[in-house]
């Protein structure tokens, strides 16, 4: 199967997907029922030019990350997603690899939580998708590739986080990260990407090695996290992690207590989005 068939499938599903189904306002005076290329590009986090080249069969070998992003944006079913992978000459994640499929129901939940920072991770804490408030709170992740999208990698090897930690909260957080990653390795031993992630962490972080070799254990609890945000200043939010039964997805949600200064700052952050204030 060639790039032409892949492109025709993307175009067909784009024409089928209404703005409302994709979580977008329908607007007026639309000539097309389905999504515009610009809308699909924005939802998938890729350029309009790349969408055009994919649809016209002029872009070969799209990455698994691009295929996943298109499948989410187009609200494909699991069988349609698998078909899109096969059209690109790739094998979709199966029972032996960490699931990356976001169900339409979870995606619709993200669409509706427009004022609440929400992100979806896989079982190994690789970021799959975020909504705009989350990107505004923690930084826009759209340019991250490979292990840069993994929360464990970013904590031990990446840039500093906006989150404040006490020694106690840091130890608890790291225990949870390492424990979750070990569970993922045990559950999906054939996942090569996961094996490479652990190898890179072991090769570059002595702290990770100590925690991994000591058998660190941890479990998720409701936590309060304080962010030092460059635009709105410090804000303290409740952080809840929900697990989607059957797909091993982790949904991270940040909320503020109503009527507080933190709630006001979160509302301001939602309005500002990822824009930079100009003084």
CATH fold of 104-272: Beta-Lactamase (3.30.450)
Q: Report the pLDDT averaged over residues 227-247.
A: 90
Q: SS3 for 83? A: helix
Q: Is the pLDDT of residue 9 over 50?
A: yes
Among 2-16, 82-96, 99-113, 195-209, name the one with the lowest average pLDDT.
82-96
Q: Is the pLDDT of residue 94 over 80?
A: no
- Nearest residue to 126 (alpha-carbon basis) of 249, 26, 236: 249
Token duo for residue 273: 């989005």
pLDDT-based confidence at residue 95 (cuts at 50, 70, 90): low
Q: Is the pLDDT of residue 28 over 70?
A: no
Query: In the CATH scheme, what is the code of domain 3-87?
Result: 1.10.260.40
Average pLDDT taken over every residue of the chain: 87
Numbered ranges of CATH 1.10.260.40 in the chain: 3-87
* 177-228 per-position pLDDT tens digit: 999 999 999 888 888 889 999 999 999 999 999 999 988 777 777 788 999 9
Q: Is the pLDDT of residue 3 over 80?
A: no
Q: Report the pLDDT averaged over residues 237-244.
A: 92
Provide φ and ψ at 269, rounded to 5°: -60, -40
pLDDT value of position 279: 36
Numbered ranges of CATH 3.30.450.180 in the chain: 104-272
Among 209-218, 235-244, 257-266, name the one with the lowest average pLDDT.
209-218
Per-residue exposure over 65-104, b if at least 16 CB sit within 10 Å of its own CB, e if not = bbbbbbbbbbbbeeeebbbbbebbeeebbeeebbbbbbbe
């Amino acid at each position: 199967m060639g790039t032409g068939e892949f492109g025709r499938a993307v175009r067909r599903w784009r024409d089928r997907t209404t703005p409302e189904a994709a979580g977008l306002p329908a607007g007026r005076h639309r000539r097309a029922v389905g999504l515009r290329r610009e809308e699909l590009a924005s939802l998938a986090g890729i350029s309009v030019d790349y969408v055009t080249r994919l649809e016209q069969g002029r872009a070969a070998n799209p990455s698994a990350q691009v295929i996943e992003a298109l499948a989410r944006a187009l609200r494909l079913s699991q069988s349609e997603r698998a078909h899109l992978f096969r059209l690109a000459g790739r094998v979709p994640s199966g029972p032996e690899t960490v699931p990356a499929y976001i169900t339409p129901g979870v995606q619709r939940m993200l669409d509706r939580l427009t004022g609440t920072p929400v992100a979806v991770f896989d079982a190994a804490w690789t970021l799959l998708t975020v909504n705009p408030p989350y990107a505004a709170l923690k930084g826009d992740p759209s340019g991250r590739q490979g292990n840069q999208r993994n929360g464990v990698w970013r904590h031990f090897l990446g840039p500093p986080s906006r989150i404040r930690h006490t020694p106690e909260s840091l130890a608890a957080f790291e225990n949870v990260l390492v424990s979750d990653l070990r569970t993922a390795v045990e559950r999906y031993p054939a996942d090569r990407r996961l094996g490479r992630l652990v190898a890179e962490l072991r090769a570059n972080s002595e702290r990770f090695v100590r925690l991994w070799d000591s058998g660190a254990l941890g479990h998720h609890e409701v936590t309060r996290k304080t962010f030092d945000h460059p635009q709105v200043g410090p804000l303290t939010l409740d952080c809840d992690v929900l697990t989607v039964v059957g797909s091993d997805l982790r949904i991270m949600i940040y909320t503020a207590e109503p009527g507080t200064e933190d709630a006001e700052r979160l509302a301001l952050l939602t309005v500002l989005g990822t824009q930079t204030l100009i003084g």
